[in-house]
A and B are shown apart, each in its own frame.
Chain A
């Protein structure tokens, strides 16, 4: 019940394309859903987050879509750039952050 399932494990996208990463959860007590971005040799950094009372949140090229009834949420990266190449983690929280297993995104020019 505490798991957050993330897919795909890896993703290759051409520059300018849309990157989509999906996550699913079981625990309906989760009330905070952030996405973290991690570059090689660095720790994860918060990218964007959403709460379950909102179905979508957009910050620049990054959008979270949230489907409370399906217990799913996804990250969309519009106009993907080579600089977006990183590992992305979804997470869910009540009193502690539970992370997905990560998606390695590679954006080729």
Chain B
């Protein structure tokens, strides 16, 4: 079974631009969660999508948005990029979604975004 696939692996953008990151979950998984990872801050929860609906959201500004398609693939968009948005963005899929009993998240290898 293929794992969680994130594309692209690396991205370099300049301030003010926007960016779209893609995540393909494990086949059969209906939940996709996004996390931002920075040194010293750990993993910060962005949002979770389940069956095309946003089920939960973290404390990030509205510049961060996402969506999920009918095939469970998800995209995350960041508009008006700032230097502080430079981070590793991780996508995780799960079968029943966060909060389900003993639910396990399967992470992709992430997209490393650098904002210059």
Contact = CB atoms under 8 A, between A and B. Distances in A.
A95 B56 contact: yes
Contacts of B108: 43
A6 B56 CA distance: 24
Most chain A CB within 10 A, of B42, B102, B106, is at B42
A95 B98 contact: yes
A93 B96 CA distance: 14
Interface residues of B, number: 24
Given A43-B90, A101-B41, A102-B42, A96 B56 contact: yes
A18 interface: no
Given A41-B109, A44-B90, A96 B48 contact: yes
Interface residues of A, number: 24
B42 A45 contact: no
Contact of A44 (B43, B48, B98): B43
Interface of B: 4, 33, 35, 40-45, 48, 56, 58, 90, 92, 98-99, 102, 104-110
Interface of A: 6, 9, 32, 34, 36, 41-46, 49, 51, 89, 93-102
